[in-house]
Amino acid sequence: MKVGALAVACVLVAASAADLKGHSGPTTAEAKPHRVAEPIAQLPADAADGRIVLTRAQQRQAIASGTVDRPVRSLLAVESPLRYGDYKWNDRGIPAGPTWVRIDLRTQIISVFRAGHEIGTAVVVYGGDNKETPTGKLHILGKARNHRSSLYDAEMPYTLRLTNDGVSIHGSSVRWGAATHGCIGVPLDFAEHLFDATRTGDEVVIIPDRSPSQRSS
């Protein structure tokens, strides 16, 4: 009797663990990170407008310096520093391809890349000193267009969930001096573009605002 009950309990635990794994990690075919696309020889003339096409030397230097970990072909042309709440989005003529997001906490800048070309950038807000934003390579675990946080009793539109404990990218009021509880806040219109451009499983690289030694001190 006891052995039977133990066996049933083991089966239940194993089933729930498999279910959790299926939801939390990019293990499904759709959730798998995309393979880096092959270099694109030339952009259409209209697509090159408003962007800076990088030379091969610039691409190599960017990877060698650790600025990016994969080839980047072009960046959006941003003439002057963005203000809080500003963003740029231009995916005109950019072909479909693997999409990834780079967030630099120190400069408070997010960049969205598709097929090796930057299609969007904005100023972000991030976690405060006591609620630090997780860094490193993360994946989009889930999407919710009209999310409302039950924990903070607040609207979090266009949520892209990054961790199982709720850290996400979502539309927010991006203003000077603001901090979050660990989420990445982006301008609302930018969040809508980002929500439509990304899929579950897409990679998000978050670069820390300071070194680990500075964080521990």
107 DSSP 8-state letter: T
| Lookup: tokens for 140 | 């989009």
Q: Is residue 151 within the footprint of another protein (CB under 8 A)?
A: yes
Rounded to the nearest 10°, the torsion over CA 19, 23, 29, 31 is -170
Q: Is residue 120 within the footprint of another protein (CB under 8 A)?
A: no
Q: Which of 37, 89, 181, 200 contacts another protein by CB under 8 A?
A: 181
Of 144, 103, 137, 136, the closest CA to residue 120 belongs to: 103
Cβ 55 to another protein shortest distance, Å? 7
Q: Which of 97, 157, 166, 208 contacts another protein by CB under 8 A?
A: 157
Q: Please choose, out of 11-19, 24-32, 118-126, 133-141, the segment that lies near another protein by the rule CB under 8 A.
A: 118-126
Of 120, 132, 137, 118, the closest CA to residue 205 belongs to: 137
CB 116 within 8 A of CB 63: no
Nearer to another protein, 32 or 145 (CB): 145
Binding mask 43-82 for another protein (x = CB under 8 A): ---------x-xx-xxx-xx--x-xx---x--x--x--xx
CB 172 within 8 A of CB 125: yes
Of 210, 119, 195, 205, the closest CA to residue 160 belongs to: 195
CB 185 within 8 A of CB 149: no
Q: Please choose, out of 12-20, 26-34, 92-100, 117-125, the segment that lies near another protein by the rule CB under 8 A.
A: 117-125
Cβ 131 to another protein shortest distance, Å? 9
Coil vs helix vs strand at 202: coil
Q: What stretch of H or E contains 192? A: helix 188-197
Q: Count the site residues for another protein by CB under 8 A.
A: 56
**Interface residue list for another protein (CB under 8 A):** 52, 54-55, 57-59, 61-62, 65, 67-68, 72, 75, 78, 81-85, 104, 106-109, 111, 121, 123, 125-126, 128-129, 145-146, 148-149, 151-155, 157, 171-181, 185, 187-188, 209
